Structure 1
Amino acid sequence: MHNTVTGPFFAIYYPVFAAVAVPANLMAIVILARGRCGLSRCISLYLLSMAVTDLLVVITAVILNRIRGIYFPVNFLTRTRGCSITAVVTYGARDSSVWLTVAFTFDRYIAICCQKLKTDYCQAKTATILIGIICSLGVAKNIPCYFMYEPLYIINNVGWFCRIKDVFYISPGWAAFDWLDRIVTPFLPFVLMVLLNALTIRNILSANRARKRLRNKSKGDKQSDSEVENRKKSIVLLMSISGSFLLLWTTYVVNVFYVRFTKGLYFEGSNYNDPRFILQESGYMCLLCSCCTNTCIYVGTQRKFREELKGAVKYPYGKIRKLVKI
Structure 2
Amino acid sequence: MKIIFTDYPFFLLPPIVQAEMIYYPIIAVLGILANVISIVILSRGKCGLSKCLSRYLVAMAAADLLVAVIDVLLFRINYLYFPETFLFITQVCSFHRALNHAVTDISVWLTLSFTFDRYLMICCHKMRSRFCTEETAARVIATVCPLFCCKNIPWYFAFEPSISVHNVAWGCNVKQECHIEPTWISFTWIHRCFSPLLPMFLISLLNALTVGHILMASQVRRNLRGSKNTTNQNDAELESRRKSIILLFAISGNFIMLWMTYFIYFLWQQITKRFNLIGFSDPSLIADETSYMLLLLSCCTNTCITQSKFRGELKSGMKYLRRIMAKCVKEGI
Output the amino acid matched with 2:280.
Y
1:280 equivalent among 278, 288, 291: 288
Cα drift, residue 224 of structure 1: 8.5
Q: Please, which of 224, 228, 243 is the counterpart of residue 253 of structure 2? A: 243
What amino acid maps onto 1:298 in structure 2?
C
1:298 matches 2:308: no
Identify which of 29, 33, 39 aligns with 2:43. 33
1:111 to 104, 121, 127: 121
Q: Which residue of 2 aligns with 1:189?
A: 199
Alpha-carbon distance in structure 1 between the residues aligned to 2:326 and 2:80: 40
Q: Which digits, 9 at most, give the CA deviation of each residue in 1:42-97, with x for residues without a partner?
A: 01110100000101011111111110011101011010011111111111000000
SS at match of 2:83: coil
Give the superposition deviation at 1:324: 3.5
Q: Distance in 2 between matches of 1:52 and 1:268?
A: 34
The TM-score with structure 2 as length reference comes to 0.93
In structure 2, the CA distance between the partners of 1:320 and 1:3, relative to structure 1 (3 Å rule), is: closer
- 2:163 match: secondary structure: strand
Q: By how many angstroms is 1:325 displaced?
A: 3.6
- Give the structure 1 partner of residue 3 of structure 2: none
Q: Secondary structure of the residue that 1:291 maps to in structure 2?
A: coil
Q: Distance in 1 between matches of 2:52 and 2:26?
A: 33
User: How much is the aligned-residue C-alpha RMSD, in angstroms?
Assistant: 1.6
Amino acid at match of 1:114: C
Residue 10 (structure 1) aligned to one of 12, 20, 23: 20
Q: Separation in 2 of the partners of 1:193 and 1:313?
A: 34
Gaps (5+ residues) in structure 1?
Answer: none
Give the Cα separation in 2 of the matches to 1:174 and 1:5.
33
The Cα offsets for residues 224-272 of structure 1, whole Å up to 9 and x where unpaired, read as 811111111011100111111110001001111111111152x557x22
Aligned residues: 320
Alignment of 1:158-307 (within 5 A): 158-220=168-230, 225-263=235-273, 265=275, 267-268=276-277, 271-293=279-301, 295=302, 297-299=303-305, 301-307=306-312
Query: Matched residues in 2 for 1:56 and 1:26: separation?
Result: 10
**Contact 1:3–1:272 (8 Å) recurs in 2:** no
- 8 Å CA contact 1:168–1:174 kept in 2: the answer is yes
Displacement, 1:311?
1.7
* Equivalent residues in 2 for 1:69-84, closer than 5 Å: 69-84=79-94
Partner of 2:7: none
Which residue in the other structure is 2:64 paired with? 54
Query: In structure 2, what residue type is equivalent to 1:292?
Result: C
1:21–1:291 CA contact under 8 A, matched in 2: yes
State the alpha-carbon separation in 1 of the partners of residues 28 and 139 from structure 2.
30
Residue pair 1:3, 1:273 contacting (<8 A) in 2 also: no
3-state DSSP of counterpart to 2:229: coil
Contact 2:14–2:281 at 8 Å: present in 1 too?
no
Distance 1:133 1:118, change over 3 A: same
2: CA distance between counterparts of 1:138 and 1:224? 45
Paired amino acid for 1:291: C
Secondary structure in structure 2 of the residue aligned to 1:292 = coil
Deviation at 1:283, TM superposition (A): 0.7
Q: Partners of 2:232 and 2:192 in 1: how far apart? A: 48
Q: In 2, distance between residues paired with 1:134 and 1:221?
A: 49
Identity, in percent, stands at 44
Find the aligned partners of 2:163 and 2:330 in 1 and give their Cα distance. Answer: 60
Q: Distance in 1 between matches of 2:72 and 2:237?
A: 42
Q: Could you tell me how far 1:221 is from its partner in structure 2? A: 7.8
Shift of 1:322: 2.2
